[in-house]
Amino acid sequence: MRKLVFPCLVLLLALPAAALAGRNSPGDGTLSVKDGVGTVKLDLRGALIMRCGRCNVLIDDPVTGDGEVVAYGWDVQRDVGGTKTLYINRDKTDMRLRLIGGTFSARVTGSKVNISAVGKGSVVLMADPTAENPGVYSIDDEGAQPLPLPRTKFQLGTSG
């Protein structure tokens, strides 16, 4: 009986890691933004986890049922037509948003923007020109760089 306990324990620990590893498709890219001040626009098939201070977040989730938007801490939520929802956070407490799976667009404008995203698509970054410290970003775990000014577009992930 003791001989079975250790292999079963190892299997139980390995299963969640294997399940999570299988979710990323080959060629997925990653984006990380830390303490951003400006605008981040994503058009992705993948996942987004974020929080922000004072900010506006416009989400377009065009395919019903292919992903789920969960948002907390917003002051105002508005349906702005079709598949678009605007979340506004005017308070100093952080708003948090999670969008896992599917195709979506997200435009985040504000301060204290922290984003982790994975998937395939395009990303547009632009620092607020009045910000002393616009925050940093990293794509595919390359070194952190200041949010760019002027507006800069990147491709996230590769086909395959």
pLDDT in tens, 62-98: 988 888 899 999 999 999 988 999 999 997 689 999 9
Q: In the chain, where are the structural domains located?
A: 27-156
Asked whether 89 and 113 are in contact (CB, 8 A), the reply is no
Q: At residue 155, does pLDDT exceed 60?
A: yes
| Mean pLDDT, rounded, for 128-144 | 95
For residue 158, name the pLDDT band (cuts at 50, 70, 90): confident
d(C-alpha 20, C-alpha 105), whole Å: 23
The pLDDT score that the predictor gives to residue 19 is 36
For residue 9, name the pLDDT band (cuts at 50, 70, 90): very low
For Cα atoms 116, 114, 15, give the angle at the middle one, nearest 5 degrees: 30
The pLDDT score that the predictor gives to residue 159 is 62
Burial group, residue 105, by CB count within 10 angstroms (0-12, 13-18, 19+)? middle
| Mean pLDDT, rounded, for 1-10 | 41
For residue 42, name the pLDDT band (cuts at 50, 70, 90): very high
For 4-139, strand residue ranges (E) read 29-52, 55-60, 68-72, 76-79, 84-89, 95-127, 136-139
Asked whether 91 and 55 are in contact (CB, 8 A), the reply is no
Asked whether 130 and 51 are in contact (CB, 8 A), the reply is no
Please give the model's pTM, rounded to 2 decimal places: 0.81
Backbone angles phi and psi of 137, in degrees to 5: -140, 160
Cβ neighbours, 10 Å, residue 127: 21
d(C-alpha 133, C-alpha 35), whole Å: 9
* The dihedral formed by the CA atoms of 30, 36, 37 and 39, expressed in degrees to the nearest 10: 10
d(C-alpha 140, C-alpha 155), whole Å: 11
